[in-house]
Amino acid sequence: MRTDFLIVGSGFYGSVLAERISSVLKKKVLIIDKRNHIGGNCYSEFDKKTNIEYHKYGTHIFHTSNLKVWDYINQFTTFNNYRHQTLTHHKNKIYQMPINLETINTFFNKNFNPREAKKFLEKITKDKKKFKPKNFEEKAISQIGDKLYSAFIKNYTIKQWGLNPKKLPASIFNRLPLRFNYNENYFNNSDYQGIPLDGYTSIFNNLLKNKKITKLINCDYFKIKDKVKVKYFTIYTGPIDQYFNYKLGILDWRSVKFKKKIVKTDDYQGNSVINYPDLSFKFTRIHEPKHLHRERRYANNNSLVIKEFSYKDHKNPFYPINNEKNKKLIYEYKKLAKKEKNILFGGRLADYAYYDMDMTISAALVKFNYIKKNLKNNF
Ligand code: UDP
């Protein structure tokens, strides 16, 4: 088989590059995926019994402040006006997450205004701020203190990452905002936000609809790579250690499993996601996808409820574990990758990076510019 470009993996990184290469450079692209569908972990499908659309690999909220990315992706879908709110269930009570003024007041049984709440947290974290935090736990306690940390963060993190939070990088805690107001918009720091009106899978169908693109699902790169003649580049978006046959060692990944159930009530939990930090629950969160599409007015007789469980599995990678061991290993793999000829690496799996969707799209657009220049100069 012959192609101008071979793209391994049809998540956002691979699909955006396939679209750019076929429509701007007018080159032929073969895009393959080992799963039985396109879209990587962003794939969405309709539950056959309820007709409710759900995100097969966990709730994905598109949010960005990158106008270039927003304008680009809006060529392939229209977003609804969904604004994400997360709640957390602790000792049989529901609180706002990320921690905001309501969480603080409810948890400490106070009625602080924003200034008082800030002062209060400053007072309880004063001793913890003396040294620069070296890990997730130190960072979290220096921001919110022991009590909030123990209730909402510590056990959730242990369940999600399967590690002592002292062994995780402080940067993961930076993903969680801390608010001294009643704002409940989880992604308030992003200028644009929404869920694709016609689902994530339709974005991928649109990205990959150019006639110059051939799609092959159920296709394992390692079984076909010797049979494909690639004129310019192979773009590999799979796990980088697998590409090199794990010869330097295995990069660790956290994985997630989902248990889906239909419930005979129109609204099970009143929100799209509720986190469960307590160790008495084995799952980390419950998703109710009906809430992502208010505009659809789904039937009222039932709902779909999905429990999420975390476990360690590098064969089913979701979250890179950025500890010292893996940081060293990815550094070495990246050195090897640079030496490879006519192959480019990118995306969450090949970069071993905790990218959000917009970051992945942005990285693909940057890589496209590199490809465009390279093609002009070298071929
Ligand atoms: N986290 C937590 N409690 C929560 C939500 C998040 O302890 O209720 C911690 C946890 O360690 C998690 C990290 O904050 O891995 C980042 O959370 P985020 O919601 O960004 O995770 P994602 O949505 O990417 O799974």
Residue 22 Cβ < 6 Å to ligand 1: no
- pLDDT tens digits for range 172-214: 998 899 999 999 999 999 999 999 999 999 999 999 999 999 9
pLDDT tens figures, 326-363: 999 999 999 999 999 999 999 999 999 999 999 999 99
Query: Given pLDDT bands bounded at 50, 70 and 90, which one contains residue 128?
Result: confident
**Cβ–ligand 1 contact at 364 (below 6 Å):** no
Residues found in the chain: 379
Find the 209 Cα to ligand 1 centroid distance in Å: 35
Copy the structure tokens of residue 138.
């130190």
Q: Tell me if residue 175 is catalytic.
A: yes
Which mutation among 107, 157, 281 tests ligand 1's pocket best, with the greatest number of atoms within 8 A of CB? 157
Q: Where are the beta strands (DSSP E) in 2-142?
A: 2-8, 29-32, 44-46, 53-55, 62-64, 86-90, 93-97
Distance CA 62, CA 195 (A): 6
How far the first Cα of the chain sits from its last, in Å, is 20
Distance between CA atoms of residues 252 and 246, nearest Å: 11
Q: Calculate how far, in angstroms, residue 160's C-alpha sits from the geometric centre of ligand 1.
A: 8
Q: Which of 4, 137, 241, 308 is catalytic?
A: 308
Percentage of the chain surpassing pLDDT 90?
94
Distance 55 CA to ligand 1 centre (A): 18
308 is catalytic: yes
Summary mean pLDDT of the chain: 96
Check: pTM over 0.85? Answer yes or no: yes
The one catalytic residue among 33, 232, 254, 276: 254
Query: For residues 158 and 254, is the Cβ–Cβ distance under 8 A?
Result: no
Q: Where are the beta strands (DSSP E) in the chain?
A: 2-8, 29-32, 44-46, 53-55, 62-64, 86-90, 93-97, 192-194, 213-216, 229-236, 253-263, 273-275, 285-287, 303-312, 319-320, 343-345
- 356 catalytic, yes or no? yes
pLDDT value at residue 150: 98
The answer to whether the beta carbons of residues 83 and 185 sit under 8 Å apart is: yes
Ligand 1 midpoint to CA 247 (Å): 32
Q: What is the pLDDT of residue 131?
A: 84
Q: Any catalytic annotation for residue 20?
A: no
- The reply to whether 179 belongs to the active site is yes
213 and 2 Cβ atoms separated by less than 8 Å: no
The band of 376, judged by pLDDT with boundaries at 50, 70 and 90, is confident
Say whether 285 is catalytic: yes
Predicted local confidence at residue 377, as pLDDT: 82
